[in-house]
Amino acid sequence: MAKTLREDIIKALASGQFVSGQVIADQYGVSRAAISNQINALIDMGLDIFKVRGKGYQLANPIALLNRSDVTNFLACLGQDSPVEVHSIIDSTNDYLMRKLPHQVTSGQVCLAEYQKAGRGRRGRQWISPFGSHLYLSVYYKLEQGMSQAMGLSLVTALAVKDAIRQLADIDIQLKWPNDVYANGKKLAGILIDLEGQPTGDCHCVIGIGINVQMPESMALLIDQPWTDITSLVGGKVDRNLLAATLIYCLNMRIMKQRDSGLASMLEDWHQHDLFLNKEIKLLTGSKETQGVCRGVNEQGALMLEVDGIIKPIYGGEVSVRGLS
Ligand code: BTN
């Protein structure tokens, strides 16, 4: 009941109309206080709701909600038919698909959500996921070539995110090894890949992508690194359903290309967008710090770091790279 009530309030607010607390309370046979609690919960999730005496509640900016049939229709226009689930509130789209492994999910299954209660970033960080503001999307793939295909997957995914954004907007995208997506030197999207499997057996992966679409003011202060969003970069609204479908399409295409031709076929594209190519960088591996020059990536997806004239591949998942100021 509370869930339906909350979802109905969200739908009513999304259109931008005033929503009367009294009318909804009467419809559901609940108290005004119960409605007020729901509104407060939505404000905590990042919705910018205000109240006008005698009129009711209104969203500061109307939002176009995610809609499964819009996403699948756009995908059909692109010639694809991935299974898509759209959730209003979820813990994490990655965790949701990982819980379904191995038998309750088919390769290519997509999970999207309006809000993540426990969105995860890399290195155990939280991914702040305000309601209806951004894109939170995960896709499950069974890796037909086993763990070897998992190498380079983060680069392949970053390229797919770049492809999708470029298809819809004239934004200059930079890619930061292994899997960050930047514009104007600020973070625009993040990628989190969860893997499960044995080196010689079946290998499953869930690719999670968060793209900043329109950061609500109330959440902006909580982000601890320079960020940007698509709306401010293009100076207008972005259709999140179209963005989701384009992203699914681009990711499927890149994954197929990697399977058929390997990462080597995408290196030129990567190097054209590499944020650090031929720049001085410092590399943090645990507590160890190495300085060198970034010489791009190799066909396994390793960062090529030049130190004292010698170029060495850097693998390892928990390595971070920061530009020297
Ligand atoms: C990063 O730290 O840069 C990675 C962020 C990944 C966030 C996305 S949002 C969809 C998916 N679900 C999660 O819990 N995380 C990923």
List residues near ligand 1 (CB under 6 A): 92-94, 116, 119-122, 125, 127, 136-138, 190-192, 208-210
User: Does pLDDT of 280 surpass 80?
Assistant: yes
| Whole-number pLDDT of residue 325 | 40
Residue pair 321/281 in contact by the 8 Å Cβ criterion: yes
- Tokens at 238, concatenated: 């972005």
Counting ligand 1 atoms within 8 A of each CB, the residue from 66, 114, 120 with the most, and so the one to mutate, is 120
User: Does pLDDT of 316 surpass 70?
Assistant: no
- What own/partner pairs with CB < 8 Å and gap ≥ 24 does 273-277 have? 273/159, 273/162, 273/173, 273/174, 273/175, 274/174, 274/175, 274/177, 275/174, 275/175, 275/176, 275/182, 275/185, 275/323, 276/176, 276/177, 276/321, 276/323
Residue position matching structure tokens 């992203």 = 247
pLDDT-derived band at 317 (thresholds 50, 70, 90) equals very low
| Whole-number pLDDT of residue 31 | 92
Choose between 287 and 248: higher pLDDT. Answer: 248
Residue position matching structure tokens 């943090």 = 284
Q: Which tens digit of pLDDT belongs to each residue from 61-117?
A: 888 999 999 999 999 999 999 999 999 999 999 999 999 998 899 999 999 999 999
Residue nearest to atom 11 of ligand 1 (CA): 208
Half-sphere exposure of 183 (CA within 13 A, CB side): 22
In angstroms, the CA 236 to CA 230 distance is 8
Residue nearest to atom 15 of ligand 1 (CA): 120
Residue nearest to atom 9 of ligand 1 (CA): 210
**Residue range 159-164: mean pLDDT, rounded:** 98
Half-sphere exposure of 125 (CA within 13 A, CB side): 14
**Residue range 224-232: mean pLDDT, rounded:** 93
Which residue spans within the chain are E strands per DSSP? 49-52, 56-59, 84-90, 110-116, 135-143, 173-176, 180-183, 186-197, 203-211, 280-285, 288-297, 303-307, 310-314, 319-323
CA of 208 to the centre of ligand 1 (A): 5
| Whole-number pLDDT of residue 219 | 84
Give the pairing type, strands 303-307 and 173-176.
unpaired
Instruction: Report which ligand 1 atom has the smallest distance to the Cα of 120.
Output: 14
**Residue range 169-187: mean pLDDT, rounded:** 94
Active-site residues: which are they?
122, 187, 322
- Tokens at 210, concatenated: 């968060």
User: Does pLDDT of 323 surpass 60?
Assistant: no
| Whole-number pLDDT of residue 160 | 98
Residue position matching structure tokens 């969105």 = 119
Identity of the amino acid at 120:
R
Q: Which tens digit of pLDDT belongs to each residue from 30-60?
A: 999 999 999 999 999 999 899 998 899 999 8
What phi, psi does 103 have (nearest 5°)? -100, -15
Choose between 116 and 147: higher pLDDT. Answer: 116
| Whole-number pLDDT of residue 2 | 65
CA of 210 to the centre of ligand 1 (A): 5
Q: Which tens digit of pLDDT belongs to each residue from 196-212?
A: 987 777 899 999 999 99
- Tokens at 226, concatenated: 């320079």
User: How far, in Å, are 55, 94, 209, 283 from residue 189 at the CA level?
Assistant: 38, 15, 7, 21
Q: What is the DSSP letter of 2?
A: H
Instruction: Report which ligand 1 atom has the smallest distance to the Cα of 134.
Output: 9
